[in-house]
Amino acid sequence: MGKKIKLADISTDPEEKITKEEAAKEMLGLTEKLAEIQNKLYAQKKYDVLIILQGMDASGKDSAVKHVFSGVNPAGCRVKSFKAPTEEERAHHFLWRVSKECPEKGMIQIFNRSQYEDILVPKINNLIDDQLVKARCAEINSFESGLVRDNTILMKFYLHISHEKQLEKLQIRKTDEYKRWKYQKEDIAAISKHDDFAKIYEYIFEHCAEAAPWNIIPADKKWYKNYLILSEIVQELEKYEIHYPKVDL
């Protein structure tokens, strides 16, 4: 059982531990570190890394992918964005499409949205009951634990954005010519359900933390969010013995 988290009690925009300029500088160093760890990970092929990014619409998942992982070698890093399930995906068990995208040893895999969408979306639309939510959580725990047992380094991030900030970003998507292509009418509906989503997320944090804890990342400030994610990833990876393999010739 994970700990109970009340999202309303956690600031989406806390006082920063670092200035924006310092963070930009530190990110350069952290990116280099991550690239170096990735080289070794790829050579060693003992571990793989799975990074799950969850968060409500406009919480900055795409920007996290771009700013945290530009700089790593794309040969060792894959991104999968899970969208509304296709017809083929819907015809399978909900973990089918996820399982196919899990990383092989040596790789970093990023999930932009993930298996948790199959709790969040049907639950918000009243398509599944509490019983099934509970069952899916148990199944996800078992699935993730299996990955971890098999040397997957699993990290889960929740990008925690306020309702006000969501609305503001939605407005920008509508008016900024470079962002308008991302705008979808469904976003409005989804964003209006901020508090309902928060409740489901809180349930997930409590019931889906067996294999790896959730990192709640304040996400109102884009630069701070990206800095926190990158720091957390490098710090976590440094705990493992990731090094070039010794090869006898």
Binding site for a second copy (CB under 8 A): 35, 43-44, 62, 65-66, 69-75, 77-79, 81, 110, 112, 174, 177-178, 180-183, 244-245, 247, 249
- Evaluate the CA torsion angle 58, 59, 65, 71 in order and state its sign: positive
**Considering beta carbons, is residue 16 or 168 the nearer one to a second copy?**
168
Is the Cβ–Cβ distance between 60 and 173 less than 8 Å? no
Shortest separation between residue 100's beta carbon and a second copy, angstroms: 12
**Considering beta carbons, is residue 19 or 192 the nearer one to a second copy?**
192
Residues 6+ apart with CB under 8 A from 72: 31, 34, 35, 38, 108
Q: Where is 214: in which H helix or E strand?
A: strand 214-218
Shortest separation between residue 11's beta carbon and a second copy, angstroms: 28
Please name which of 6, 80, 17, 7 lies closest in space to residue 221, comparing C-alpha atoms. 17
Supply 134's token pair. 């509970």
**Considering beta carbons, is residue 1 or 249 the nearer one to a second copy?**
249
Shortest separation between residue 174's beta carbon and a second copy, angstroms: 6
**Considering beta carbons, is residue 72 or 124 the nearer one to a second copy?**
72
Residues 6+ apart with CB under 8 A from 184: none
Helices vs strands, H then E, count in the chain: 10, 5
Shortest separation between residue 70's beta carbon and a second copy, angstroms: 5
Shortest separation between residue 79's beta carbon and a second copy, angstroms: 4
Rounded distance between C-alpha atoms, residue 190 and residue 86, angstroms: 19
**Considering beta carbons, is residue 125 or 181 the nearer one to a second copy?**
181
